[in-house]
Amino acid sequence: MTAWTEHLARVGATLDDTARSIAFATPADEARATETATIAVPLLHLGTIRSQGPDSAAFLHNLVSNDVKHMEADTAAWNSFNSPKGRMIASFLVWTEEGGHALALSADILPAFLKKFSMYVLRSKVKLADASAEIALIGLAGPQAVAIAQATGATLPAEDMRQAVSPAGVRCIRLGAQRLVLAVASEAAPALFDALVAAGAVRAGTAAWQLGMIRAGLPLITVPTQEEFVAQMLNYELIGGVDFHKGCYPGQEIVARTQYLGKLKKRTYRLALPAGVSAAPGTDVYAPDFGEQSAGKLVNVAPTADGGVEALAVIQSSSAEAGEIRVGAPDGPRANLLELPYALG
């Protein structure tokens, strides 16, 4: 364990064997907290890669789905790295920092992704490194997120997908009006986390954060879903994760063709599963119009306050429109479609 995770254990956290998933209460209680309180969550399920050097912007720009060359100093953006066939290998949040950029992605894919990404460096003046041990990420979500962050001395950006750094070195990235990510040096994380709680936040774990991200329609690629989906299947262009004018990058031709030629047959939808049903990322979903053939896959899942599960799932649009979605098998538990906070178009 690190000093950061040891501190979390002292204040009541339970960590899994990988130290990538954390909880402070039962899944139902933590899910309930997302509806009634502002939660502070150590984002241990995410890791961070630093890209440093004078060529950082150009290097990233040539490899990922969104514009990096023209990112302003106070911006953050959703982004992805794709296979030559246009299938998403990694999704991540990228932000600018002094001397380069940082990428926050699922910790379970980070080592292999970093190895693959590093193969493209060649003569570029850029250095890639796993900075997960150096940077702690804390999520803050709920109606008092802004006020609580400000009470701890954080500097708040004025707009979504902007960032600001406080005099104490706390980086605040605003994902939405009530959803923030705080990035801080790992040695400063225990004090910041305690300050957030003292200011009114409720300690919560990984599943609570994931539930909020599901409800916001913000997907995260993990090992079970790598190279399964083109960006638009994950609604990535709808959340600002694709720039169609930036030029070439791996998979760009497929992503562009999907956008401009033909009808997109799959999209990401939000689902609810009843109490007692277990589900995991990568689980197949079924619909009558596809018979025994899979009509899609679960992407992210999280328990709800009533003992059920909410999920983001990539599903055939025709199946979603018909309305009968089953999980795990053609005769598996039926899922209910829920609204997303944005139109699918």
**126-139 tens-digit pLDDT:** 999 999 999 999 99
Neighbours of 159 (CB within 10 A): 9
Provide the percentage of residues in the chain whose pLDDT is more than 70.
Answer: 100
Query: Once rounded to an integer, what is the mean pLDDT over residues 231-246?
Result: 96
Query: Once rounded to an integer, what is the mean pLDDT over residues 165-171?
Result: 97
Identify whether residues 250 and 148 lie together within a single domain: yes
Identify whether residues 129 and 278 lie together within a single domain: no
| CA distances, 133 to each of 59, 90, 345 (Å) | 24, 20, 40
What pLDDT is stored for residue 259 in this prediction? 87
What pLDDT is stored for residue 258 in this prediction? 87
Identify whether residues 226 and 336 lie together within a single domain: no
What pLDDT is stored for residue 107 in this prediction? 98
How far, in Å, CA of 258 to CA of 325, rounded?
24
* Structural domain ending residue among the three candidates 263, 280, 302: 263
Query: Once rounded to an integer, what is the mean pLDDT over residues 218-235?
Result: 97
Residues in Cβ contact with 92 at an 8 Å cutoff, skipping those fewer than 6 apart = 78, 79, 80, 81, 103, 104, 105
Q: Which helix (H) or strand (E) holds 148?
A: helix 145-151
Q: 25 burial class (0-12, 13-18, 19+ CB within 10 angstroms)?
A: middle
Sheet containing 46-52: order of strands: 76-82, 88-97, 100-106, 46-52, 127-130
Identify whether residues 237 and 300 lie together within a single domain: no
The per-residue pLDDT of the chain, averaged, comes to 96
Identify whether residues 202 and 294 lie together within a single domain: no
- Sorting pLDDT into bands at 50, 70 and 90, what band is 109? very high
Q: Output the six-digit token pair for 260.
A: 């401009």
Amino acid at 242: V
Identify whether residues 241 and 276 lie together within a single domain: no
Identify whether residues 273 and 259 lie together within a single domain: no
What pLDDT is stored for residue 296 in this prediction? 97
How far, in Å, CA of 334 to CA of 11, rounded?
39
Q: With 70 as the cut, is the pLDDT of residue 262 above it?
A: no
Q: Output the six-digit token pair for 257.
A: 């063709």
What pLDDT is stored for residue 263 in this prediction? 74
* Structural domain ending residue among the three candidates 217, 246, 263: 263
What pLDDT is stored for residue 278 in this prediction? 84
Query: Once rounded to an integer, what is the mean pLDDT over residues 280-286?
Result: 97
How far, in Å, CA of 286 to CA of 332, rounded?
8
In terms of residue numbers, what domain contains 13? 1-263
Identify whether residues 326 and 224 lie together within a single domain: no
Question: Do 202 and 34 meet the contact criterion of CB atoms below 8 Å apart?
Answer: no
Provide the percentage of residues in the chain whose pLDDT is more than 90.
Answer: 95
Identify whether residues 225 and 305 lie together within a single domain: no
Residues in Cβ contact with 326 at an 8 Å cutoff, skipping those fewer than 6 apart = 285, 286, 287, 332, 333, 334, 335
CATH number at residue 127: 3.30.1360.120
How far, in Å, CA of 336 to CA of 285, rounded?
12
Identify whether residues 251 and 269 lie together within a single domain: no
> Can you count the helices (H) and strands (E) in the chain?
9, 19
DSSP secondary structure letter of residue 60: H
Greatest Cα pair distance in the chain? 59
**2-48 tens-digit pLDDT:** 999 999 999 999 999 999 999 999 999 999 999 999 999 999 999 99
What pLDDT is stored for residue 125 in this prediction? 97
CATH number at residue 309: 2.40.30.110
Identify whether residues 156 and 303 lie together within a single domain: no
How far, in Å, CA of 204 to CA of 24, rounded?
6
What pLDDT is stored for residue 151 in this prediction? 98
How many domains does the structure of the chain reveal?
Answer: 2
Identify whether residues 166 and 281 lie together within a single domain: no
Q: With 70 as the cut, is the pLDDT of residue 180 above it?
A: yes
Strands 309-316 and 296-303: antiparallel
What pLDDT is stored for residue 261 in this prediction? 83
Question: Do 338 and 303 meet the contact criterion of CB atoms below 8 Å apart?
Answer: no
Query: Once rounded to an integer, what is the mean pLDDT over residues 54-77?
Result: 97
Q: With 70 as the cut, is the pLDDT of residue 252 above it?
A: yes
DSSP secondary structure letter of residue 24: S
* Structural domain ending residue among the three candidates 263, 281, 296: 263
